Structure 1
Amino acid sequence: MSMLTPPGMGGKYRITGDRYPRMRRPRNRRRIVVAAVGAVVALGLAGWGTVQLIDVFSGDGETTTAGRKTDCKPVPGASAQPVVMLRPAQITVNVYNATPRGGLAKTAADELKARGFTIGKVGNATAAYDKKVPSAGLLLGSPTAVKGSFQVLGTQVKGTTSKTDARKTADVDLILGTAFTTLAPKPAADAALAALAKPVPVPSGKC
């Protein structure tokens, strides 16, 4: 009888040999681990696919493979600024000099006339604005000039500010200020006028 056989046990219960039986790890544990990992991966892929579908069907712009939008659709008919239909010849400009430099108003008025604007009065600014305009120029006119004449005339002088008054006429005052040196170069002014006629569409804002 082997020394491994407990006392009182023999026959078929007798243990032979001088080593303990080798205990093997149950094989079903490995299968459970593999199955669990596979389930986690499947759930992750399913969740990612759901997010992609929601993004595609709810978004207005194009998407990348990561689901982030890279482009926005413009709003039909919307623009960065209203289309200006006025031509320079349709705008009457009064040019006033608010600086101590003599002859500035006439020089600017002659150049604006050469660029197609209609020139009205030319002279020195009134006491309310004389030497009180620090910018390159002040555009002064009725509220209706804000989205028309001001935009067109503003392409000719960089750094202008604007202000409305109670006048009922369509003419616009250009009051030359301390920072004024010269009109904008004609090629740059012409390009700015062209941009007013063809404004850039505004994105939908849902990017």
Structure 2
Amino acid sequence: MSMLTPPGMGGKYRITGSKYPRMRRPRNRRRIVFAVIAAAVALSLAGWGTLQLIDVFTGDEKQTTAAGKTDCKPAPKPSAVPLVTLKPSQITVNVYNATPRGGLAKAAADELKKRGFAIGKVGNAPAAYDKKVAGPGMLLGAPSASKGPFSVLGTQLKGATTKTDARKTADVDLILGTAFTALTAKPDADAALAILARPAPAPSGKC
């Protein structure tokens, strides 16, 4: 009998060998499983809370009905009327040169005529504006000109300012300023005209 065998435990309970068996507590697997589940639940709650905060700070574009369904706000109806319905041929332009350089008014008037505008008077600017327009140009007309003619003619000269006077006629003055070099390139001017005549895009109405 081995010296490791306790007294009275012979036979099949006999312990052989020269070392004691290592006795260790079994791992508590249930505790580990509970810890993993708790961590997963905590992460889920944190994610849900984050989504709720995002909804609060991004506005109220979506509304929740009493049944718990998400209801979008009704989309506004698009305007069926174009922004500007005037064509260049409906606008009479007087072209004046307010710079010390000669020939600018005629050259600009000839180009505007090629682009479809009706041309009125061409010459030097009146004394009130001669050499007093600092930018590339100024559009001058009756108060009603701001509702369409200024926008259409303004596509032909980028950076031009606008001003109204007491005239009763529908013609518009284009006064070339000291910073004038050339009219807007025709492709760019045509693209700007197309935008003016295009109705506003309809909203999708989707959330």
TM superposition score category, shorter chain reference: 0.5 to 0.7
Equivalent residues of 1:75, 1:201 under 8 A apart:
no
RMSD: 3.9
- Percent identity over the alignment is 68
Aligned residue for 1:174, secondary structure, equals strand
Q: Which residue of 2 aligns with 1:121?
A: 121
Call closer, same or farther: CA 1:128–1:27 in 2, change over 3 Å: same
2:12 maps to none
Q: Aligned residue for 1:41?
A: 40
Distance in 2, Cα, partners of 1:202 & 1:141: 33
Q: For the structure 1 residues 125 and 40, does the alpha-carbon distance in structure 2 shift closer, same or farther, using more than 3 Å as the test?
A: same
Q: Aligned with 2:120: secondary structure? A: strand
Distance in 2 between residues matched to 1:108 and 1:114, nearest whole Å = 10
Query: Do the aligned partners of residues 49 and 135 (structure 1) sit closer, same or farther apart at CA in structure 2, a change above 3 Å counting?
Result: same
Query: TM (normalized to structure 1)?
Result: 0.65
Shift of residue 84, structure 1, vs aligned partner: 0.9
Is it true that 1:137 corresponds to 2:127 in the alignment? no
**Count of residues paired in the alignment:** 177
Equivalences for residues 103-182 of structure 1 within 5 A: 103-182=103-182
Report if aligned partners of 2:78, 2:203 keep a CA contact under 8 Å in 1.
no
Q: Does 1:96 align with 2:96?
A: yes
Q: CA deviation digits over 1:16-36, x for unaligned, max 9? A: xxxxxx8855755x5334313
Unaligned runs of 5+ in 1: 1-21, 61-73
1:77 counterpart residue number: 78
1:48 Cα deviation from its structure 2 partner: 3.1
Q: Which runs of 4+ in 1 moved over 6 A?
A: none
TM-fit CA distance, 1:47: 5.0
Q: Which runs of 5+ in 2 are unaligned?
A: 1-21, 63-74
**Contact 1:88 1:152 (C-alpha < 8 Å) held by counterparts:** yes
- Equivalent residue letter for 1:163: K
